[in-house]
Structure 1
């Protein structure tokens, strides 16, 4: 099947080693058969990745580090990718979650659209099958020749290249230390649980914000996951089209259960000590019994 050509905006905010990216990319018709095509957020992000990727081999400076980029690769980070995603959107349509767009990027990786090599400073994104769909035969031949030249290069050049690649592989985004993103993070576990019960490919920005609010409540993760199952299990749909469609519905149920757990009635009655006699009254009573005159009378 022949691929269509999708023209990228020549004024797009994309850079290749300090050179403004221009030109076009190819978009295969079979994308329409993929679930991404029917998901506006994932489709927008995928097109951003395609138009951001480099068309040629080059070196790019990231801080004081040199990164070797091949065709189909680009450098980004969780905040950079979110900024690119939001650019041009109305404020009401922009994604406010700090790491939501990056999680969508990881979703594209799970779907085998791309791969991500993470570091403490940045991520290198590689478009899978870039050469197959984006390069002409002559370009592929040129790429093969370039790779052969790299193999023939001096040991010193090879050591520098290996060092740069190693730096990219061995470190992760610097924000990761403050808010790790991964399959074991609380957010990811809650998202996976929600999607497994609700069904669907990904959460919405509003869902992401509701999950983040729940996490901020410091509710134990095991309680959240247990209550998600409980809410779905006890939900009684009114008709065949009815169902739990947003995490905000679960948010209310989780908060209700958390409040009830922390405000359970106690079975121990309050201890009330017996009222003791006033010291002066006790002294007067003693004086009366002993026939002792008490007071000024």
Structure 2
């Protein structure tokens, strides 16, 4: 049974802001985007944060294109502020504009916007004939009806950055999960960030990483009030042990390698390597490539 408690975290929002939110005509998707931005800014006692479209779509369950339309319209209405534009390594840094006198939206919707005659989209933004407002996640320029050639060039030019965008999303999901479960401070140390990047290099599925983070914190038994998991390096090691241990079991299921209560034994085949030796060699390889442990 759900049992939410303020002791487990809360987001402080001034009543004056809430009153101006529900008294103006926001769409459902706009409200959801606002709530997520509140959660990851005010909810962590910070004024701004990096948000990618993939992350917003992931946490809200809303189609990526619909999230983009809602976010673009909120930026246009000056409800959401772009603190720093996106580049090919980082998504946009966004902040909520609490000065509601600057919002270009009232009880009728967004002010001073031109909507095409046949446009019936939920978000009332300035659109072209076919509602091609912007191209790509990181391109924020308005395009016209003959933009297909531009789209093709952009897609080819940035094909190699698709993986990098996923990496940014995954880094953000892992960092937010760790900060939330740690519940001590809202920032990551440089060592924490390096540990997360190393984990991403191991190509472990993001759902598996998030599940293991929850398991690590659920199973940790503090000895006193100052005993808690401080570094992501601790979590990193447990995740590696569990993931590659499980993979080893699956690979050798029904074979000659059997897991004992205290570890993994050697194969009956002479000269094979133990699981611990494989891990040591993997760590040595990472160090040889210049990755700091």
Q: Which of the five TM-score ranges fits, normalised by the shorter chain?
A: 0.3 to 0.5
Under a length normalisation based on structure 2, what TM-score does the superposition of the two structures give? 0.38
For the pair shown, which has the larger CA radius of gyration, 1 or 2?
Answer: 1
